[in-house]
Amino acid sequence: MSMIKIEGVHKYFGTNHVLDDVNLEIQQGEVMCVVGPSGSGKSTLLRCLNHLERITSGKIYIDNELVDHRGNDKDILKADPKKVSSLCAELGMVFQRFNLFPHKTALQNITIAPITVKKMDKTKAEANAMELLRKVGMIEKANEFPSRLSGGQQQRVAIARALAMEPKIMLFDEPTSALDPELVGEVLEVMKQLARDGMTMMVVTHEMGFAREVGTRLIFMDQGRIVEQGTPKEVFENPKNERTKEFFRSIL
C-alpha cells in the first residue's frame, strides 16, 4: 500500500533549484533512508511532504489522496484545506533540533498537541504520553524540564511527542546530527524499535550503519535529484552511478 507518492516535484528558492524532478513512492512498513551531501535537497524534500515548504511544481499524495498539485508556484488543483491538514497530521516529524518547549515538562511537551489539536481528554493524553515515555525509555524523566535533560534524552522526548499524534508515517530529519557522539546510540535504538514495530519511516541520515542495518530502501540524492536507489546492500556494495561511488569513497 502506497503511503506517500511524489510525482515530478520541483522546488526553487529564488533561482536555486533545490528539488529537480523528484519521483518517489513509499510503501507501508518501509524504512526509507535518504543520504547524500549537504545541500542535495534531502531536508527540503521532507519539509515539502508535510507542507512546511510548498513545492514549486509537481504532485504529492499521502495515503493515496492528492494533497499538493502545483505548477509555476501556483495551485493547479486546490485541495480542501481541512482534508490536507488531516492528511498531513498523519506525518510525524522529528527535526535535527529538539524544539521542546523549555517551560514545560517532558510529559507536558508530549500532551500539548493531542489536547489542543485533537481535543483529547487530558487524563487520556497523559496516560498515552506516559506509555510513550516508557517506550522511548524516558518514563523516569516525565516531570523534568528540557534543561535538565541531555541532548539524547530531549530527542527521545521529541520522538515521543511526534508519536503522540498517532501518525501513520514518521519523518526524521537527521535526528542525531545535533547530538554528542556518545548520545547517538540511544536515539538510534528508539528508531530501530519503531522499525521493528512496523512503523513506516523516511529517514534523512548520515548514520550509514543505521541505514545499512535498518533501511529497507536507500535513496542517494545529489543536486536536488535522486541519483540512485535500491536496497542498502545494493547501493552500498554495488553503486552504479559514479557520483554515488564518489560519495561513498569519501565517507566510508
Q: Is 219 helix (H, G, I), strand (E, B) or coil?
A: strand
- Which tens digit of pLDDT belongs to each residue from 181-227? 888 999 999 999 999 999 999 999 999 999 999 999 999 999 999 99
Q: What is the pLDDT of residue 67?
A: 92
* Amino acid residing at 108: Q
| pTM for the whole structure | 0.93
Cα(153)–Cα(140) distance, integer angstroms:
11
Q: What is the pLDDT of residue 131?
A: 97
- Which tens digit of pLDDT belongs to each residue from 19-74? 999 999 999 999 999 999 999 999 999 999 989 999 999 999 999 999 999 999 99
Which DSSP string do the residues of 149-181 spell out, in sequence order? S-HHHHHHHHHHHHHTT--SEEEEESTTTTS-H
